[in-house]
Structure 1
Amino acid sequence: MIAAPAVVLFDLDGVLAHYDHAARLRVLAGRSDADADAVARALFESGLERDADLGLHDARGQVDEFARRLGRPVSLADCVDARRASMRADADVLALARRVARQAQVAILTNNNLLLRDHLAAICPPLFPLFEGRVFCSAQFRLAKPDPAIFLHCLGQLGATPAQALFVDDKAENAEGARRAGLRAQHYTGLPALRAWLRECGFADA
């Protein structure tokens, strides 16, 4: 018999929030007086963001290394503001998560860095207080989705087993990684399908 869901893990960008990459580049370019292409090379093409997402830099270290690679001064506040400009909470999915939270713990599991995790309340305030204390990222585990191990580490923090957990992600390969770890998972393609799936899993109010 499958256990009733005790935890529902949500991906961040592409599920709970919309992400605008160009907006992030524009803010960082404006703050550093560099062009957007230079920002993209220093933060993304150089591999810095990927390394930070894998826990090789803490928030301060990521900012300092970005400034060094860009050759321009950049502050932590600049990076937080840029991420804030790039994110917009999906009000409908967030409302659904609130209904789910009446029956189960809800948490975020995202392939992201410590800068985002540590400052998410300022970056995307509508996600709080719902996800307070339950934002988990690849950097803290030094593992990334779709590796099945990251789901097990995350659930260990929440005191749940894979059989008690659901996972939602906009990338099919990440949903499959969760299934390999023993979770029930949904590849997010839109709100109607997600709502129907959650009802099938026992959330009558979804």
Structure 2
Amino acid sequence: MKGAPAVVLFDLDGVLAHYDHASRLQLLARRSGASVEAVSRALFESGLERDADLGLHDAQGQVDEFSRRLGRPVSLDDCIAARCAAMRADPAVLALAQRIARHAQVAILTNNNLLLRDHLPAICPPLFPLFEGRVLCSAQFRLAKPDPAIFQHCLAALGATPDQALFIDDKRENADGARRAGLHAHHYRDLPTLLAALREFEFLED
């Protein structure tokens, strides 16, 4: 047995929740009256979403800049609704996180913007209250996974050291970045392999 970690960090999209990019674009197109292609250009191809994920815009600033680039009015509520339409909590992984939380602090570390962090309870309600106050994102640190520094900043915010933490992400490069920062890490592919990995730690009972 490896011993129980004090902190378990979960990635968001692809681990705790399923993400449907097309649904997000379609809702924004309906709300704004623009085409799906125009929405994609203004939000993604323009680099706006990437910049917001690195903390260059706060929530309202991201919305305002999106409206400007799209050339049509878009509200904060529109952007929250679009993200909500695109996200669905994975009940099996969430149940596993609830089991882990009996013995360790659980938190989210996601490459995402302040709009998502600040409004995640409305965007994906099933994640709360389990992760209340423990949703951390690239924008607040102005760093992104897999940079090892983001894991160090995240753990400092949680009051833990790397050797006390386990990180779970569906991107191998992000798991590798966590290991370089000194954390235990698991590259998530499916629930059975995650369960097998967690059984190496003492906190997950059979």
TM-score for both structures, normalised by structure 2: 0.98
Mapped pair 1:7 → 2:43: no
Mapped pair 1:134 → 2:134: yes
Q: Distance in 2 between matches of 1:169 and 1:59?
A: 25
Aligned pairs (5 A) from 1:44-193: 44-193=44-193
Give the drift of 1:196: 1.1
Give the drift of 1:4: 3.2
Q: Distance in 2 between matches of 1:2 and 1:182?
A: 15
Q: Distance in 2 between matches of 1:11 and 1:66?
A: 25
In the other structure, the counterpart of 1:199 is 199
Give the drift of 1:199: 1.2
TM-score for both structures, normalised by structure 1: 0.98
Contact in 2 for aligned 1:100/1:205 (Cα 8 Å)? no
% identity of equivalent residues = 79
Q: Distance in 2 between matches of 1:115 and 1:130?
A: 20
How many residues align? The count is 206
Give the drift of 1:202: 1.9
Map Cα deviations across residues 174-205 of structure 1 (whole Å, 9 max, x no partner).
Answer: 00000000000000000011111111022232
Q: Distance in 2 between matches of 1:102 and 1:68?
A: 46
Contact in 2 for aligned 1:3/1:163 (Cα 8 Å)? no
Q: Aligned partner of 1:37: which letter?
A: E
Map Cα deviations across residues 76-122 of structure 1 (whole Å, 9 max, x no partner).
Answer: 00000000000000000000000000000000000000000000000
Q: Distance in 1 between matches of 2:63 and 2:201?
A: 42
In the other structure, the counterpart of 1:25 is 25
Q: Distance in 2 between matches of 1:187 and 1:45?
A: 28
Map Cα deviations across residues 40-85 of structure 1 (whole Å, 9 max, x no partner).
Answer: 0000000000000000000000000000000000000000000000
Secondary structure, counterpart of 2:176 in structure 1: helix
In the other structure, the counterpart of 1:16 is 16
C-alpha RMSD of the superposition: 1.1
Q: Distance in 2 between matches of 1:4 and 1:19?
A: 30
Q: Distance in 2 between matches of 1:192 and 1:7?
A: 21
Contact in 1 for aligned 2:151/2:181 (Cα 8 Å)? yes
Secondary structure, counterpart of 1:194 in structure 2: helix
Q: Distance in 1 between matches of 2:8 and 2:2?
A: 15
Map Cα deviations across residues 6-64 of structure 1 (whole Å, 9 max, x no partner).
Answer: 00000000000000000000000000000000000000000000000000000000000
Q: Distance in 1 between matches of 2:36 and 2:204?
A: 46
Q: Distance in 2 between matches of 1:201 and 1:112?
A: 29
Q: Which runs of 5+ in 1 are unaligned?
A: none
Map Cα deviations across residues 146-166 of structure 1 (whole Å, 9 max, x no partner).
Answer: 000000000001110000000
Q: Aligned partner of 1:52: which letter?
A: A
